[in-house]
Amino acid sequence: MSLRHFLTLADLTADELERLLRRAADLRAAHYNGALHEPLRGRVLGMIFEKSSTRTRVSFEAGMAQLGGSAIFLSPADSQLGRGEPIEDTARVLSGMVDAVMIRTFGHENVQRFADVASVPVINGLTDAHHPCQLLADLMTWQSHRREITGRTVAWMGDGNNMCQSWMQAAELMGFDLRIGCPPGYAPDDLDAYPRSRHEPDPDRAAAGADLVVTDVWASMGMEDEQSARRTAFAPYQVTGAIMAAAGPDALFMHCLPAHRGEEVAAEVIDGPQSVVWEEAENRLHAQKALLEWLITESLAPDEPPRGN
């Protein structure tokens, strides 16, 4: 397999996405069974963080350790990027020292510029435009509870942000319908390119009959000055018990975290029986292990199953 990057879900075919999700489920089962599986022994992941994180850092570091490899954390203060070194220069240097690079940053163009000159796989750990690693975990979580998502309806409640954008790409790959419940002026600009997604400004109609309800914070990192205005604009789109009732008794609730109870989601929902957010968070680990294994070893189907201890 030639060099592959994972910058958005559109970097995968539908078949590759399905195979990654199956592999992630296998790795989760092996982990719980205490199996030893170290295909990345001696391999190193470089991790560049311009945005702070809990789940992204821990899941990638723990994932590399469990696969037999190691990870190096680099904040702007820990690298020459923080002193103005061109992104392309850093990409060339790190490509000669590590086996893959994960970047969590603001502008998506920075990850793209890095990947354009890197000679090792580059993974988007989050940008302002896309969050594809989270979607791997979300889709994996759905499948563990409801199996196929094809033909289902997902209600996105809140800002048309990077998470919403990745859900739009997932809808095209997996064949489900996405309703985007958000106020006018906050929907994604490129909806015409995604025929399975539509903007529904009425929150009740957006949630009606949905199989899955998903939300995120109303003001992402870097939007702190907009927080008050957004709190007012998005108040009708809070995922409450009434919204979940409109979606149906079997609907699941997801949130990529961190969550603000009483803002984008009511405590009774995120801590209630329809919520799968804690499993969703854990699945970042297993889904990213499958991604790392594939990108670094260039295989979605290892020749040998994990070995028991």
Catalytic center residues: 104, 131, 134, 216, 256, 284
Question: What gap in Å lies between CA 190 and CA 138, rounded to an integer?
Answer: 22
Residues written for the chain: 309
- For 34, 86, 104, 225, 292, the CA distances from 288, given in Å and listed in that order, are 18, 28, 14, 33, 6
Residue among 156, 280, 140, 269 nearest 210 (CA): 156
Q: For 35, list phi and psi in degrees, rounded to 5.
A: -75, 145
Q: For 8, list phi and psi in degrees, rounded to 5.
A: -145, 165
What DSSP string describes 242-303?
HHHHHH-TT-EEEE-S---BTTTB-HHHHTSTTB-HHHHHHHHHHHHHHHHHHHHHS-SS-S
Residue among 133, 139, 198 nearest 162 (CA): 133
